[in-house]
Every structure is written in structure tokens, then in C-alpha cells.
Amino acid sequence: MDKKIVFSGIQPTGNIHLGNYLGAIKNWVDMQDKYKNIFCIVNSHAITIKQDPNILKEQTINLACMLLACGISPKKSSLFIQSNIDEHPALAWILDCNIQMGDMSRMTQFKDKSSKNPRNINVGLFNYPALMAADILLYQVDLVPTGSDQKQHIELARNVAIKFNKDYGKCFKVPEPLILQEGARVMGLDNPKVKMSKSIKSPNHAIFLLDSNDEIKRKIKKATTDSNSNIVFDESRVGLYNLLGIYETLSAKSRIQIESEFEGKGYGEFKNTLIDVLIEVLSPFREEYKRLQDNKDYVLNILNDGVESVRPLAKSTYDKAKELVGLL
């Protein structure tokens, strides 16, 4: 029985932090044996915000190195760069012509990003959900891993696929969302009421996958907790709950086991244990990342192989959509 096709995309902007890893990349690595995975570095999405071209190119390759270092395997999955396949923007134009302005204007991420960048509300920023839909629909995807913040975009892709198939004839598989585990939502260490983010520049906000052991130790030591002393999973104690969630995911222990482990112990001992686990998990990523950085040709060959493995499907889907709408 053929494996279901899963598509995941990630932008090459900023450094990858613990929230990115636990919320997405770890899941991608873990599901490689279960699904046929297509992983795309969506660099075209990145330019909706003005980028330094040289930095964008560098960050694109750096992200490929990091994904491979974290466990994305070219033997199990296809990894490629979005801009290397021209069918992405080509299909996005066809979808643009089949999405109503009202549907696009309701996208909450456009409202959020435009409010943060009021001087850069460009057409691409408004239209990028159509490109995201094209990313997915090109590959006849069965499932799209998603968190709560991306569900609206998956719904748009589903709706445009259904409408297109009805108006022109069968072309696209209608994808289903693959909801990621709730325990993977990581909040800021300094402010556990906001999601961990690349864009927040506070020195103690996030743990990045390339942080040194000393940086990890410092950030966890300074992480917000509270004035209580018992270590239990209590959602109202947001700082401790966030740290416990990180430990739960990395240690693969149950909540009962964790509460028993730290019964009668203080925050100092818990934080030291969390530091040890973080260093144990992240140190191999740093080492493999450095090795890959020293072997860029190897990484570029993997990305080229990824393009060749998915291009035929992308071309087949686009050619059919093009024919159905009457383009020569």
C-alpha cells in the first residue's frame, strides 16, 4: 500500500529555535518512516518582507544544513528549495484568478504581518496564501502538518482545490490537515505568555539550536517561573508549565513520571536537569551542522536531488491545471 504524501514548508529567515524544532521539525523527523514526505524551504515566501539578497541565499543553505542536522534524511524524504521549481509561482497565478478578494482579505496572518510592517504592505504579502496553496496542491498532497496558527491557510488550499475541481474538472487532491501534538507549543522563556519567536530580540527569550552549552544554561537559569515551590503541571503557572512541557517532550517521560521525579525538589534542581537534557539533545545537532557547513557541495547535491525527485509531479499537476483553464 502506497504511503500518503505529506508536504511541509519552512521559511529561511532567522535562526531556528527550540519552538521551531519541537513544534515542527521533530515531528517531521519522527514521521519520515510513516509517510512519503516532501520538505520545502519556502524562500519565495520570505521576500514578502524585504530581504538582503546575499543573506537570504546564505540563510537558505543554512536552513538546509540545519534540517539535515536535525534528522531529515534524503534517503527517506525529498528536501528542496521552492524557487528552484517554477511551477510554484505559475500555479499560484492560476489560483489567484480563482480566489475571491473577500477570502484573501480574511486571512488573519496578513492582518498580523501588515500591522507589524505598515510600510511594507505589498501585493505579495496579501497574495502569499495563494502561493502557499500552490506549494501544497502541486504535489497531490494527502496531509499537511499544521498547528493552530496555520489551519486557516490549509482551509484556503482545500477550498480552492474543491472549487477548481468543480469549475474545471478533476485536477487537485484535496489535502487534509495533520494536526501536530499540542504539547509541542513552546512559549518564550522570558515571557511565557507569548509564543517563542525568531523576531523577539530579547537575549533570554529563546533557545536557538546553535546556542552553546553555556548559553543554554544561562537562558534556562533566567527562565521565568513563579514563587511557588512544588513542581507540577499547572497551566495557570505559565512559566513552569512551559519548562515542564519542554522537558516532557525531550525526555519522553509521562507527566506522572515527571511530577514523581521532582517531588520535594526545587526549581534549581529541575532547571539543572532540563539543562542537561537540552545539551544532550542539541549538541549533536550543532556538531552535524558544522560538518555540513564544511561540506556545502554535499548539501547542494541533496537539494538538487530533491528538486529532481519532485519536479515531475509538480510539472504534471501544473500542466493539467493550465490545460483545464484554457492556457496554451
Our count of domains for the chain comes to 2
pLDDT at 123 (0 to 100) = 87
- Same domain for 129 and 105? yes
Counting residues of the chain whose pLDDT is more than 70, the rounded percentage is 95
The active-site residue out of 195, 221, 265, 322 is 195
119 or 27, greater pLDDT: 27
Q: Which of 96-105, 202-211, 303-312 has the lowest mean pLDDT?
A: 96-105
* pLDDT at residue 155 in the model: 92
Do 262 and 314 reside in the same domain of the chain? no
Assigned domain for 204 exists: no
Q: pLDDT band for position 181 (50/70/90)?
A: low
The yes-or-no verdict on residue 106 having pLDDT over 90 is: no
Please say if the pLDDT value at position 115 is more than 90: no
Could you say which of 113, 221, 315, 320 is catalytic?
A: 113
Query: Is the domain of 33 the same as that of 69?
Result: yes
Summarize pLDDT for 15-70 with one digit per residue, the tens. Answer: 899 999 998 899 999 999 999 999 999 999 999 888 999 999 999 999 999 999 99
167 shares its domain with 284: no
Q: What pLDDT was estimated at residue 296?
A: 95
Residues 210-236 have a mean pLDDT of 95
Rounded to an integer, what distance in angstroms lies between the CA atom of residue 259 and that of residue 230? 9
* pLDDT at 29 (0 to 100): 95
Residues 51 and 178 in one domain: yes
Among candidate residues 4, 36, 163, 198, the one labeled active-site is 198
> 142 and 255 in one domain?
no
pLDDT above 90 coverage of the chain, percent: 80
The answer to whether residue 176 scores a pLDDT higher than 90 is: yes
Residue 211 has pLDDT above 70, yes or no: yes
In a domain, 201, yes or no: no
Q: What is the mean pLDDT of residues 237-259?
A: 95
Same domain, residue pair 33 and 162: yes
For residues 59 and 98, state if they share a domain: yes
Q: What's the mean pLDDT in 168-177? A: 96
**Per-residue pLDDT, 43:** 97
- Please check the confidence at residue 151 and state whether its pLDDT lies above 90: no
Q: 20 and 124: one domain?
A: yes
Query: Is residue 40 domain-shared with residue 98, that is, in the same domain?
Result: yes
What pLDDT was estimated at residue 182? 52
Q: Is the pLDDT of residue 112 over 80?
A: no
pLDDT in tens, 273-296: 999 999 999 999 999 999 999 999
For the question of residue 26 being annotated catalytic, the response is no
Domain that holds residue 116: 5-184+296-324
**Section 214-219 average pLDDT:** 97
Known catalytic residue at 322 = no
195 is catalytic: yes
In a domain, 124, yes or no: yes
Are 247 and 120 within one domain? no
Same-domain pairing of 163 and 224: no
> Which pTM was predicted?
0.92
